[in-house]
Chain A
Amino acid sequence: MKATWKAKLAAASVAAVFGSAAHAQQEIKVGVIYPLTGSLAASGAEMRSALELAADIVNNGAKGIPDLPFSTGGGLPNLKGAKIKLIFADHQGNPQVGATEAERLITQEKVAVLVGSYNSNVTATASQVAERYKVPFVNPESSSQSLTLRGFKYFFRTTPHDEFFVHNAFEFLKEVEAKKHIKIASVATFSENTLFGNEASKLQTRFAQSNGYNVVKQVTYPAKTTQLTSEVQTLKAANPTVLIQNSYSEAILSMKTYKELGYLPDMILANDAGFADTEFVKTLGKDAEYVVSREVWALDLAQKKPLIKQVNDLFNARYKINFTGNSARSFTGLMVTADAINRAGSTDAEAIRKALAETNIPASKLIMPWKGVKFDESGQNTLGAGILVQIVDGKYNTVWPADLATRELVWPMPKWDQRR
Chain B
Amino acid sequence: MTFDLLLQTLASGVLIGLIYALVAIGLTMIFGVMEITNFAHGEFLMFGMYASFWMFALLALDPMFTLPFTVLLLFGVGMLLYRLVIRRIIDAPPLSQIFTTFGLMLLFRGIAQFLWKPDFRTIENSMVAGSVNLLGVQLGRPQLVAGIGAVVVTAAIYLFLNRTKLGSALEATAADKEAARLMGIDSHKMFALAWGIGAACAGAAGALLSTFFPIFPDVGANFILVAFVVVNLGGFGSVTGAFWAGILIGVVEVMGGLLVGPQYKTAVVLALFLAVLMFRPHGLMGRA
Contact = CB atoms under 8 A, between A and B. Distances in A.
A230 B262 contact: yes
B213 A253 contact: yes
B253 A227 contact: yes
Contact of B16 (A38, A219, A227): A227
Interface residues on A, range: 35 or more
A42 B8 CA distance: 34
Which of A233, A256, A259 has its CB near the most chain B CB atoms (within 10 A)?
A: A233
A229 B9 contact: yes
Contacts of A45: 117-118
Interface stretch (B119-127, B184-192, B196-204): B119-127
Contacts of B122: 252, 283-284
A283 B214 contact: yes
B217 A41 contact: yes
B140 A260 contact: yes
Contacts, number: 105
B118 A44 contact: yes
Contacts of B20: 226
Interface string A284-323: 1100000000000000000000000000000000000000
B138 interface: yes
A259 B212 CA distance: 11
Interface string A168-185: 000000000000000000
A44 to B, nearest CB: 7
B257 A230 contact: yes
Interface in B196-227: 212-214, 216-218, 221-223, 226
Interface string B215-241: 011100111001000000000000000
Contacts of A376: none
Interface residues of B, number: 44
Contact of B262 (A224, A234, A236): A234
A66 interface: no
Nearest to B225: A224
A231 B264 CA distance: 11
Contacts of B120: 42, 249, 252, 279, 283
Contacts of A262: 131, 138
Contact of A233 (B8, B110, B113): B8
Which of A219, A234, A259 has its CB near the most chain B CB atoms (within 10 A)?
A: A234
B12 interface: yes
Contacts of B13: 229
A226 B222 contact: yes
Given A233-B5, A252-B120, A221 B214 contact: no
A1 to B, nearest CB: 24
A216 to B, nearest CB: 14
B84 interface: no
Contacts of B121: 283
10 contacts: A37-B109, A37-B118, A42-B120, A44-B118, A229-B9, A230-B9, A230-B12, A234-B261, A236-B5, A259-B131
Interface of B: 1, 5, 8-9, 12-13, 16, 20, 109-110, 113, 117-122, 124, 131, 138-140, 143, 212-214, 216-218, 221-223, 226, 253-258, 261-263, 265-266
